[in-house]
Amino acid sequence: MQLSASLREFAGGAASVTVEATSIRELLRKLIERFPRMQRRIDEGVAVSINGEIYRDDRNQQIPDGAEVFLLPRIQGG
Amino acid sequence: MATDTTFTNQEFKIVGTRPPRPDGVDKVTGRARFGADASAAGQLVGLVLRSPHAHAKIKKIDTSKAEKLKGVKAVVTSADLPDLTKGDRGMFDMLENCMARDRALYDGHAVAAVAAIDAETARQALKLIKVDYEVLPHVTDVDEAMKPNAPIVQPYIRTAGIEPKPTKASNVAQKSEFGHGDVEAGFKQADVIVERSYKTEQTHQGYIEPHACLASVGPDGQGELWVTTQGHFTFRNVCAGLLGMDIAKLKVTSSEIGGGFGGKTHVWAEPVALALSRKANRPVKLVMTREEVFRATGPTCSTSIDVKIGATKDGRITAATATLRYQDGAFTSIWGMLGAMTSFACYDLANVKSIGYDVLVNRPKVAAYRAPSAPMAAFAVESTMDLLAAELKMDPIDLRIRNAAKEGTRASYGPTYGPIGIGPTLQAAKNHPHMKAPLGKNQGRGMACGFWFNFGGQTCTDLNIGVDGTVSLTVGTVDVGGSRASLSLIAAEELGIPYDRIKCTIADTASLGHNDTTEGSRGTFSSGMATIFAARNAIQVLKARAAKMWDIDVADVDWKNGRAVALRAEHGNLNELTLGEIAAKSPQTGGPIAGHNETVADGAGVSFATHICDIEVDPETGKTKILRYTVIQDAGKAIHPDYVEGQFQGAAAQGIGWALNEEYIYGTDGRLQNAGFLDYRIPVCSDLPFIDTQILEIPNPGHPYGVRGVGETSIVPPLAAIANALSNAAGVRMTHIPMSPPRVLKAIKNGRH
């Protein structure tokens, strides 16, 4: 998965990390296991983009094989 | 699957029609009840004392004289709102914003509040509260706040997004960077490079209805709140958290809303009203004045932005960068980050970098304003695109078409786009008759495009069928733009019954599961999805009841055109059963018939718009007049086209005000000088032409009907479209929003280009 620049400091500066996961929930759990500092940032709010579709809340969302996955800051709207 | 969100391209019979909105008669006859229209027996009047200083230490607050005044039932300060936030900085910021603690952080920051038997007594009580301030240095300008010696607004801030993490306090709360490729290499490939800096001033959403609520908390810890809000479930959770109440014991009812546009997504005075009520043991009604709305709610950011774009002679962009400095008011947020994310989202760029800074100043906490942060970024980028087109001697629209993002483009904020509508909106603009209409002397035309994410969120919907066959549709997303009509159309479509057989109601928080706030253009997208699924659940029940009435297997029952149909030849003698006929028998077939759905409606499709504007400028005075305005936007699927067009027109109207006149003006003392509609000029009817609209429908693959949010995107292009039109009309490049007559006149006289 690739990380937005503003999130990289919580993953040791990495622009991308390899995580094996089939759902967003598993992805975030494994990310936190590797980078404990990520816990707080995820609690503050992140979104996961899978093949261009942004998921803010649905941790059950499945991640297809070979999908493009981006970790983004959580967005707000008006 | 009953809850499959995939777009199915179904044919519609009712969706897409334009029946009157169910709340229309109430609103035009004055029967609709807004935030200030609720009353309770024994209610008190709540008023708030606000800081006259931009930044001051609160040494002491003496409320004793106010408390002794006859008719005063409660006085509260921060001592009555203890910190229960358990280290949650976001919640603490909301607490501190509702009521200053050791420091007042902006002009208008609440420092105390009273509840009294009438407004006159409450006003007298406010005068009797003595606050001992020590005035501190302040800063209100975003660029000044970033300087090393600027007064520090929040001493705990260490800039996030920088490695190694700074050890010294700063007003820069966060640095955010987005992009890909190698911009330096990209600029080396460019034949033409254009670079320009821009500023935009702070504006308010300008909703006509001020914040208002009626709060009631009893000694048993149970409470009720009637409030004008975009998100009563969120208000309930936040207020309960700040006051130490159980969520289930605080019932929040959303009133009709007289405009919100993002400004009513946060709590402001509601926790104070609840605290007053709790202390007085009486209901408290608190209605802000217009001055309070300006000084102490959540306007949008002021900004300072640098943009650089390089292209080859044939108009292909080789690199683009933007540095965006957004002021968030006195509390941290993500507005600079969103500016950086949205700035180049319209374009297919191999080399792009956006850096956003979130900066604290002594101004009110910034709130969302319709596609928050995107309009200012679009103003800077789209103005630079026009400058680039001029350098390249290209038609500005052709330059944009040449570089438009498309399916498969890697967005500047990271992910790869699915099917999107920027190209079609640009092509529609190019082909629109508006682009070919003649212009007169001192008139100019401009165009610009814009992007917004849209999102969904937690949603819960009930659908109950009465014995007469009418349907109560109960949703939890506040109706800010006609969603009750749209959701009724969806329910009618699914059930196969007429629109006027549906009554859609916004439920209070005790009557339905949690619904996220109506923001991010999510109302019709999210509740529409939940309504589809709730209706399909109800149809399963209707089929089962029909099977009972016929005494056949439910597998032999289908639902067509609002009727149960018995399948198989052996049931050929069974007449179809209408929804009404099945409902009438429901007491004997198993009781009430209902459908329900709770979902997390993710998968909102991104949205794009292109606007065209004609403007005339008076070179002697700097006065401008919008002559013609056209909005073209991708709606995915327009459920109720009237209200889609209304969103387009409303957003454009707000953008026109933002572009031409609206501006927070702070004095050197850090106090807001124009906290009223006389001195803060929003557009009125005579300022606006009829705004033409063109709805494009590029289906969102993540919604069964293809719906995309429509409420926000069309506030993104106006600043730039109008700036481009005015720059063409005046012959000088306008780089500072608002382009008010004095600023236009100055630019013309300076001849700056």
ipTM, 2 decimals? 0.90
Number of domains in chain A: 1
What is the predicted pLDDT for the residue at B553? 97
Where exactly does CATH 3.30.365.10 map onto chain B?
Answer: 24-32+456-600, 303-454+605-750
Whether the CB-CB separation of B229 and B242 falls below 8 Å is answered with no
Whether the CB-CB separation of A49 and B414 falls below 8 Å is answered with yes
Instruction: Confirm whether A42 is domain-assigned.
Output: yes
Strands (E), B604-671: 607-617, 624-634
- Whether chain A has a CB inside 8 Å of the CB on B411: the answer is yes
What is the predicted pLDDT for the residue at A7? 86
- Whether chain A has a CB inside 8 Å of the CB on B259: the answer is no
Q: At what angle do helices B335-342 and B374-392 cross, to 10 degrees?
A: 30
Would you give the distance in Å from CA B5 to the centre of its chain?
A: 24
Whether the CB-CB separation of B652 and B448 falls below 8 Å is answered with no
Give the residue numbers spanning the domain of A37.
Answer: 2-73
Distance, CA of B354 to CA of B176 (rounded, Å): 8
Nearest to B414 by CA among A59, A71, A58, A25: A71
Fold of B303-454+605-750: Aldehyde Oxidoreductase; domain 4 (3.30.365)
Q: Do B455 and A49 touch (CB under 8 A)?
A: no
Whether the CB-CB separation of B695 and B633 falls below 8 Å is answered with yes
pLDDT digits (tens, 9 = 90+) for B436-452: 999 999 999 999 999 99
What is the predicted pLDDT for the residue at B9? 92
Tell me how far apart the 2 most distant CA atoms of chain A are, in Å. 35
Whether the CB-CB separation of B490 and B705 falls below 8 Å is answered with yes
What is the predicted pLDDT for the residue at B331? 97
Task: Answer whether residue A1 shows pLDDT above 50.
Answer: yes
Instruction: Confirm whether A54 is domain-assigned.
Output: yes
CA dihedral B425, B428, B430, B434 (to 10 degrees): -110
- Whether chain A has a CB inside 8 Å of the CB on B417: the answer is yes
Q: Which of residues 505-534 of B touch A (CB under 8 A)?
A: 519-522
Please compute the mean of the pLDDT values over residues A38-61 and round it to a whole number: 89
B310 beta partners: B193, B319
What is the predicted pLDDT for the residue at B752? 52
Whether the CB-CB separation of B306 and B322 falls below 8 Å is answered with yes
Distance, CA of B34 to CA of B56 (rounded, Å): 35
If phi > 0 it is left, if psi is from -120 to 50 it is alpha, else beta; for residue B242 that is: alpha
The CATH number of residue A42's host domain is 3.10.20.30
CATH entry 3.30.230.10 includes domain B24-32+456-600: no
Instruction: Confirm whether A18 is domain-assigned.
Output: yes
- Whether chain A has a CB inside 8 Å of the CB on B233: the answer is no
The list of chain B residues with pLDDT below 70 reads 1-2, 752-753
Cα-Cα-Cα-Cα dihedral sign, residues B34, B37, B43, B46? positive
Nearest to B717 by CA among B561, B623, B612: B612
Q: Do A78 and B519 touch (CB under 8 A)?
A: yes
Q: Do A76 and B368 touch (CB under 8 A)?
A: yes
Would you give the distance in Å from CA B617 to the centre of its chain?
A: 31
What is the pTM for the complete model shown? 0.96
The tokens for A76 are: 């707000």
Instruction: Confirm whether A63 is domain-assigned.
Output: yes
Q: How many CB pairs under 8 A join A and B?
A: 113
Nearest to A60 by CA among B5, B714, B444: B5
Instruction: Confirm whether A78 is domain-assigned.
Output: no
Instruction: Confirm whether A27 is domain-assigned.
Output: yes
Where exactly does CATH 3.90.1170.50 map onto chain B?
Answer: 37-136+210-257+264-296
- Whether chain B has a CB inside 8 Å of the CB on A43: the answer is no
Instruction: Tell me the three-class secondary structure of B72-124, residue by residue.
Output: EEEEECHHHCCCCCCCCHHHHHHHHHHCCCCEECCCCCEEEEEEECCHHHHHH
DSSP B166: P
The tokens for A56 are: 């803010």
In sequence order, the 6+-apart residues with CB closer than 8 A to the CB of B642 are B18, B482
Would you give the distance in Å from CA A63 to the centre of its chain?
A: 12
Burial of B393 (0-12, 13-18, 19+ CB in 10 A): exposed
Distance (Å) from the alpha carbon of B453 to chain A's nearest alpha carbon: 8
- CATH label, B37-136+210-257+264-296, candidates 3.10.20.600, 3.40.50.300, 3.90.1170.50, 3.40.50.720: 3.90.1170.50
Distance, CA of A46 to CA of B175 (rounded, Å): 16
